[in-house]
Chain A
Amino acid sequence: MFNHLLSLLIWLPIAGAVPVLLAGSSRPNTARWLALLMAVLTFAVSLYLIPQYHADAGGMQLAESHLWIAALNVHYSLAVDGISVALILLTTFVGILVIVGAWEVIQDNPHQYMAAMLVLEGLMIGVFCATDALLFYVFFEAMLIPMFILIGIWGGPRRVYATLKFFIYTFLGSIFMLIGLIYLYLKAGTFDLHTLAALPLTLKEQSWLFFAFLIAFAVKVPMVPVHTWLPDAHVEAPTGGSVVLAAVMLKIGGYGFLRFSLPIVPDASMQFAWVVILLSLIAVVYIGYVALVQDDMKKLVAYSSVAHMGFVTLGVFIAFMLVREQGNTDAARLGMQGAMVQMISHGFISGAMFSCIGVLYDRLHTRSIKDYGGVINVMPWFGFFYVLFAMANCGLPGTSGFVGEFMVILASFSANPWIALFAAFTLIIGAAYTLWLVKRVLWGEVTNPHVAEMKDINGRETLVLGAFAALVLIVGVWPEPLIHLMDSSVTQLVQVLAIHKV
């Protein structure tokens, strides 16, 4: 069985969705408990990755491969490295919390909601395991369907506009990737990522491919200027949808850069690194200002996500400058690790922030900041969590939000002080938009009579927020285990950067 650990991880939640669906709308509690059971099981199996994966050895491990489409030489091949393991753990962990979080909140066909969540979880794990480009692409696209359903059915009033925008945006992006993959397939005769990484390509070919990949992954991350689907999608999505979207789906963009752009087109990535770096810095500064003036809490956090994901792309692409221009591989590792930690940490923090907004929305049915104020008076425990996550969002040391940003800023100073200067601007603008939000929502007198009637978080909500809080603090206080898990993989990636294909 353990030769198929990764397959088990992918298909367990997807298969688990079937009985959940069969429970039907007449037995909502059965569906909920079944879904929870499946999510917990998946999480338990994913924990088994930790002893199974040898962090010191690095490389792709736990591989399995079967011929899938013989005519096209497509394989169902899976394997993980430290980065995938970390992201899979994030996915399965968030998988439990979104189901707990939706428990009483989703009253309308909960069995379908829970089933969609489980399917989505399985597909996302698939993305992180696939080592065949076409298999990756299939998971990458299939993932959109459950998310489309989640937003389209359980979403807010403008959900149709949001789902269409979300779907077309991301689909359009991935079409370019498909074209790129087909080109590579015609050249190499395989979709195997490892073979593609070794494929010699001219700079011109690499450049075309680089932009094809860039469009696909930039939309997912999302990077400026293709980020505008995200605020709309978040605003309309149900809480669980937002949590998964922010916590896991955005990471797939960052992950794609690591699996495709870096190894397959390293020279073009080097040549156009400045484009990505520039866009990342624009994300930090420009989006920071945009976040400042949002009236809708979800939009604010959505924009904040774009700004924070800027550190992921920044950390990945300054590595090129550090390795190739200065030969400073250690600094490159620092930046790349920072980007990876930022991905995981942003998963916790954005998941937690959207969960918090969900808690408020369930009580007052509005996301507008001006409808709140003085919430701390009636919800002190909620206030505790909200301030904690806000501080993590500002990158306060001791929380996970600090670790990645700190490492990326340190590394980028070595690349170019100007990059560090703009990146570090997040310290100011991030604090401004986050704490201004806290001020308007939490502090002050209660002015809205409905706020006065709000009840503090219940046990279920405390569980969800508490779990996020524990991870935010653990990673913040002691990031070394997480870093060690990914270190050998990051080192190998950095070595790949140094290899010239032309």
Chain B
Amino acid sequence: MELSTSILLTIALAPLVGCLLAGFLGKQIGRVGAHSVTILGLLISCGLSFYVLYQITMGGAPVYNHNIYTWFEIGKYTATVGFLIDRLTAMMMVVVTFVSLLVHVYTIGYMADDDGYQRFFSYISLFTFSMLMLVMSNNFLQLFFGWEAVGLVSYLLIGFWYKRPTAIFANLKAFIVNRVGDFGFLLGIAAILYFLGTLDYATAFSTAPTLVGKTLTLTQSIHWDAATVICILLFIGAMGKSAQVPLHVWLPDSMEGPTPISALIHAATMVTAGIFMVARMSPLYELSDSALSFVLVIGATGALFTGLIGIVQNDIKRVVAYSTLSQLGYMTVALGVSAYAGAVFHLMTHAFFKALLFLGAGSVIIAMHHEQDMRYMGGLRKYMPITWITMWIGALALCGVPFFAGFYSKDSIIDAVHDSHRWGSGYAYFCVMAGAFVTATYTFRQMYMTFHGKERFKVIEHHGHDHHDAHGADDHHDDHGHLEPGVLHHAPKESPWVVTLPLILLAIPSLLVGYFTVQPVLFGGWFGGAVHVNEANNVLGEIGKEFHGSLAMALNGFTQLPFILIVLAFIITTYIYLFNPAMAGKIKNALKPLWTILDRKYWVDDIYFAIFARGGVMLGRMFWKGGDAAVIDGVLIDGSASLVQRIASGMRRVQSGYLYHYAFAMILGLILLLGGYWLIGQ
């Protein structure tokens, strides 16, 4: 049975309705009203998304691909708004709405005391709508709409606490860096329209083979392969949205936003839009080995080098943020070796365990009265057991310990890279393998510093602030939540159920989803026609030949190099952070230059700020003062005005009022005139 358009419209629009109600009538419907309508919208959306997934995978519904309305129609060019629902879309819809729903619930607890409560709910519902428009699109126009709309919401949410200078710096930076990516993305779309004459996915993919042999003429002597140009331009968009090197700089700063959105937007969904997009465009990417090599190298670089930065972070959220950068690198690597299904599979498992880690970190932050520095934590496990256990599940999934969700997705990526012969796969293999060690290192370090070892905070009971103890919410509390770092007014305690319930609900898939879905999704051709891989590039197909079930894969995983690296990291971090805490400082001092490089994030931010921000302003000032003010206005406009004035004042002197001056001029004129005639006559 074909999916009905009204159901799909309901899925997309229910969050939008919630957003509008909470946003415009926030005052009237109050806090409870705001979270009720938005959560109701998400419940509808999420429930129907599961229904759609069921229909598509088991109910025998065919792929849905219809336009809703025409956006413009000019000659042979049309742009429409419509939906393409296949397995890839259905899976994304479930991931997006499910995580979003849990984040909505979690927000009730996390933002309880915030003045912008209704506004926050409005924003996250708007985000869900935008993200759904992005994944459900059947054309490049709507894709770009969703792409930019999630960027807008990300901007609004990073700057949610708009009084903080750091937050409003971070959101501006995030938007502009993303725009650099979108610049490439838009040109990529323009290139598709130029070569294929359409903005519709289905038409573009079916005519994609005609790109072979076509070139884009840049100069008389430079001709670039059409498919490569298109794919690289589109991927530049993905580099912005999915925070790939060198456009990764905005993501760590985005942690200025409230934690629920770090989980939803900056870990589980929006940042994976680039991965989704490339997977969706697989029929195009398969046409260009060069573009895929580019993707591979960029992804591999991010996977290893941003992960390294995570090791030196002390802010609990920033560790998770760098981990996200690194994991996005893994997904990109998978794309680069044509393992699109592997990338999307890791996207899904990552959405669960990374949202879990972020929300867990948020739970810790609530307990610590908005202290985010892990140096003032430690020993929290006995205060907040649910957070502790669920976060460990997320951590082990992230490290890729066999049986956990992340194991199936990450090890498959590592295997796929190993089997690939694409240019750059050797470098990528080193990066993802080393990255496995790095991931385990920063993850265990984070868990130990937060939950284990000695308590590094002091509790000084302080009466008069009792009403704040329940579940502190926003920055207002920073002023009086703790007098100095590491001093709390109350002992930390477990967060309320609205916070812990989402943790538990995310812990379940983080533990199980890989075990139960790896076979069909990775090796069973689950995506069907949604993802296209050339036979020669089908690394997952090769690996699949040696796949004998989830259990066997996990058991085999215990003997593989990645697991050995995890164990190594475990031993090292356990020794340092549990048994010999002084060791950390010694290592830091011994490796001071290396530590500085990582602490300064390879100076990338500093370089960008100097060149693009300061340089841009300098250039602008030069253009303004030098071009507009000096040359155009100074010389041309005011210059010609003063020239007229000078001539006029010269002329004025001629008009002296003396009759004999005029008589003289007349005679002179007459002589010249007659003389002229005479000369011409000659």
Q: Residues of A at under 8 Å CB distance from B? A: 165, 169, 225, 228, 286, 289-294, 329-331, 333-334, 337, 374, 376-377, 387, 391, 394, 396-398, 402-403, 406-407, 409-410, 412-414, 417-418, 420-421, 424-425, 427-429, 431-432, 435-436, 439, 442-445, 478-480, 483-484, 487
A484 to B144 alpha-carbon distance, docked (Å): 23
Which residues of B sit under 8 angstroms from A484, Cβ to Cβ?
73
**Interchain CB contact under 8 A, A418 and B218:** yes
25 A-B contacts, Cβ less than 8 Å apart? A169-B637, A225-B631, A228-B632, A289-B624, A290-B624, A290-B627, A292-B617, A337-B72, A337-B74, A391-B152, A397-B141, A397-B149, A398-B145, A406-B141, A406-B186, A407-B74, A409-B190, A410-B194, A418-B218, A427-B179, A427-B182, A431-B179, A432-B179, A435-B172, A439-B168
**Interchain CB contact under 8 A, A334 and B186:** no
**Interchain CB contact under 8 A, B616 and A432:** yes
Which residues of A sit under 8 angstroms from B168, Cβ to Cβ?
439, 443-444
**Interchain CB contact under 8 A, A421 and B172:** no
Smallest CB separation, A58 vs chain B (Å): 14
**Interchain CB contact under 8 A, B194 and A414:** yes
Which residues of A sit under 8 angstroms from B194, Cβ to Cβ?
410, 413-414
Using A292-B617, A293-B621, A334-B74 as known contacts, say yes or no to A410 and B182 having CB atoms under 8 A apart: no
B542 at the interface (CB under 8 A from A): no
Which residues of A sit under 8 angstroms from B145, Cβ to Cβ?
397-398
**Interchain CB contact under 8 A, A293 and B620:** yes
Q: Which of A377, A398, A407, A410: most chain B CB closer than 10 A?
A: A410
Which residues of A sit under 8 angstroms from B72, Cβ to Cβ?
337, 403, 407, 479-480, 483
**Interchain CB contact under 8 A, B69 and A478:** yes
- Chain B 151-171 per-residue mask, 1 if CB under 8 angstroms from chain A, else 0: 010011001001101001100
Smallest CB separation, B211 vs chain A (Å): 15
Using A333-B75, A424-B186 as known contacts, say yes or no to A293 and B617 having CB atoms under 8 A apart: yes
Using A293-B617, A334-B77 as known contacts, say yes or no to A417 and B172 having CB atoms under 8 A apart: no
**Interchain CB contact under 8 A, A410 and B189:** yes
- Could you tell me which residues of chain B, from 571 to 604, have a CB within 8 Å of some CB in chain A? none
Partner of B176, one of A169, A333, A435: A435
Which residues of B sit under 8 angstroms from A331, Cβ to Cβ?
77
Interface size on B, residues (CB 8 A): 54
Which residues of B sit under 8 angstroms from A480, Cβ to Cβ?
69-73
B619 at the interface (CB under 8 A from A): yes
Which residue of chain B is the closest to A436 with respect to CB atoms? B172
B3 at the interface (CB under 8 A from A): no
**Interchain CB contact under 8 A, A225 and B636:** yes
**Interchain CB contact under 8 A, A330 and B189:** no
B605 at the interface (CB under 8 A from A): no
Which residues of A sit under 8 angstroms from B628, Cβ to Cβ?
228, 290
Using A292-B616, A407-B72, A445-B163 as known contacts, say yes or no to A425 and B193 having CB atoms under 8 A apart: no
**Interchain CB contact under 8 A, B71 and A413:** no
Partner of B620, one of A289, A387, A442: A289
A59 to B624 alpha-carbon distance, docked (Å): 43
Which residues of A sit under 8 angstroms from B619, Cβ to Cβ?
289
**Interchain CB contact under 8 A, A431 and B175:** yes
Which residues of B sit under 8 angstroms from A435, Cβ to Cβ?
155, 172, 175-176
Smallest CB separation, B231 vs chain A (Å): 15
A406 to B147 alpha-carbon distance, docked (Å): 14
Smallest CB separation, A13 vs chain B (Å): 32
Partner of B163, one of A169, A391, A444: A444
Smallest CB separation, B417 vs chain A (Å): 33
Q: Which of A334, A398, A431: most chain B CB closer than 10 A?
A: A431
**Interchain CB contact under 8 A, B162 and A443:** yes
Smallest CB separation, A40 vs chain B (Å): 27
Q: Which of A228, A331, A409: most chain B CB closer than 10 A?
A: A228
Partner of A439, one of B172, B624, B636: B172
Using A225-B636, A228-B637, A443-B159 as known contacts, say yes or no to A479 and B71 having CB atoms under 8 A apart: yes
Additional 19 contacts, C-beta under 8 A, given A406-B144, A413-B187: A291-B620, A292-B617, A330-B76, A397-B145, A398-B148, A403-B72, A407-B72, A413-B193, A417-B187, A417-B216, A427-B179, A428-B180, A431-B175, A439-B168, A439-B172, A478-B69, A479-B71, A479-B72, A480-B72
A-B pairs with beta carbons under 8 A, tally: 145
Which residue of chain A is the closest to B616 with respect to CB atoms? A292
Closest 10 A/B residue pairs (Cβ): A330-B75, A413-B190, A293-B620, A289-B620, A397-B145, A443-B168, A292-B620, A443-B162, A290-B624, A431-B179
Which residue of chain A is the closest to B78 with respect to CB atoms? A480
- Could you tell me which residues of chain B, from 629 to 664, have a CB within 8 Å of some CB in chain A? 631-633, 636-637
A165 to B99 alpha-carbon distance, docked (Å): 59
A410 to B218 alpha-carbon distance, docked (Å): 16
**Interchain CB contact under 8 A, A225 and B179:** no
Which residues of A sit under 8 angstroms from B632, Cβ to Cβ?
225, 228
Partner of B162, one of A376, A407, A478: A376
**Interchain CB contact under 8 A, B190 and A289:** no
**Interchain CB contact under 8 A, A483 and B218:** no
Smallest CB separation, B240 vs chain A (Å): 11
B136 at the interface (CB under 8 A from A): no
B623 at the interface (CB under 8 A from A): yes
Which residue of chain A is the closest to B197 with respect to CB atoms? A330
Smallest CB separation, B423 vs chain A (Å): 25
B183 at the interface (CB under 8 A from A): yes
A290 to B619 alpha-carbon distance, docked (Å): 8
A487 to B72 alpha-carbon distance, docked (Å): 10
B416 at the interface (CB under 8 A from A): no
Which residue of chain B is the closest to A434 with respect to CB atoms? B175
Which residues of A sit under 8 angstroms from B190, Cβ to Cβ?
409-410, 412-414, 420, 424
Which residue of chain B is the closest to A405 with respect to CB atoms? B186
Using A396-B152, A431-B179 as known contacts, say yes or no to A334 and B75 having CB atoms under 8 A apart: yes
B191 at the interface (CB under 8 A from A): yes
Partner of B183, one of A377, A428, A444: A428
Which residue of chain A is the closest to B186 with respect to CB atoms? A424
Which residues of A sit under 8 angstroms from B179, Cβ to Cβ?
394, 427-428, 431-432
Which residues of B sit under 8 angstroms from A294, Cβ to Cβ?
624
Which residues of B sit under 8 angstroms from A290, Cβ to Cβ?
620, 623-624, 627-628
**Interchain CB contact under 8 A, B162 and A427:** no
Which residue of chain A is the closest to B224 with respect to CB atoms? A417
A374 to B164 alpha-carbon distance, docked (Å): 10
Smallest CB separation, A497 vs chain B (Å): 14
Which residues of A sit under 8 angstroms from B183, Cβ to Cβ?
424-425, 427-428
Which residues of A sit under 8 angstroms from B182, Cβ to Cβ?
427
**Interchain CB contact under 8 A, B633 and A228:** yes
Smallest CB separation, A176 vs chain B (Å): 15
